[in-house]
Amino acid sequence: MRLTRRLTAGGSPSTILRPPNCVIPRLFIDRPIFAAVLSLVVTLAGALAAPVLPVAQYPQVTPPTVQVDSNYPGASASVVSLTIASPVEQQVNGVEEMLYMTSQCTSDGSYTLTVTFRPGTDLNMAQVRVLNRVALAMPQLPDVVRATGVTTRKRSPELLMTLSMNSPDGTYDQTYLSNYALLRVKEEIARVPGVSDVTIFGQRDYAMRA
């Protein structure tokens, strides 16, 4: 505590108790040039240290996921659910460090299972565990599904980039653009370092009904 004496209007001195924590703010208020120089030094130090900060040491917030894909040509969604989804999910359910799993069966015979693990789980080990569980369900799958194969791969739920393709003058329709993106663009982007997968939303393919 610091004592400060001053004269009042009547001429008698008065005493003001000023706490010591007011000394530091008063130091910068009375010396604005010193405060400005100190701010510039702190800013420059932060700018120089930014490129070498350990960003990779921050905790992972997004839970890692592993995706299982298969295809049953000519089967409906209900048939895919009974012949593929049921045996695969019975084996995958309860895999180590798993939080939950979601699956999708479509009318074109495709099946997708997404297994979500706890944050911080080693994604490579999670993929191996899911792959071992899927291998247990392979004998129960139809012959056509085993012939086409069941893929297990690492998948991030976050979107790194979204690209849009259109025809300004309307020369090409959506089917042509979707087919062009599948043949010319998807594989090129998938070969970029750091890209694990490329998904075409609303994909349309050419088909012939005989």
CB of 148 closer than 8 Å to CB of 71: yes
Are 167 and 128 contained in the same domain?
A: no
Does the pTM surpass 0.95? The reply is: no
More confident of the two residues 19 and 199:
199
Question: Residue range 164-172: average pLDDT?
Answer: 87
pLDDT for residue 135: 93
Q: Where does the pLDDT of residue 1 fall: very low under 50, low under 70, confident under 90, or very high at 90 and above? A: very low
Residue 101, pLDDT above cutoff 90: yes
Are 152 and 84 contained in the same domain?
A: yes
Residue ranges with strand state E in the chain: 2-7, 13-18, 65-71, 98-105, 110-117, 151-155
**160: nearest Cα among 183, 124, 192, 188:** 192
Residue 12, pLDDT above cutoff 70: no
Are 44 and 70 contained in the same domain?
A: no
Task: Give the chain's domain count.
Answer: 3
Are 75 and 142 contained in the same domain?
A: yes
The domain boundary residue, chosen from 138, 158, 178: 158
In this structure, what DSSP letter does residue 138 have?
G
CB of 197 closer than 8 Å to CB of 187: no
Three-state secondary structure readout of 50-84: HHHCCHHHCCCCCCCEEEEEEECCCCCHHHHHHHH
CATH classification at residue 145: 3.30.70.1430
Are 182 and 154 contained in the same domain?
A: no
pLDDT for residue 50: 82
Are 79 and 141 contained in the same domain?
A: yes
Are 164 and 146 contained in the same domain?
A: no
Whether residue 10 lies inside any domain: the answer is: yes
CA-based torsion, 165, 169, 170, 176: positive or negative: negative
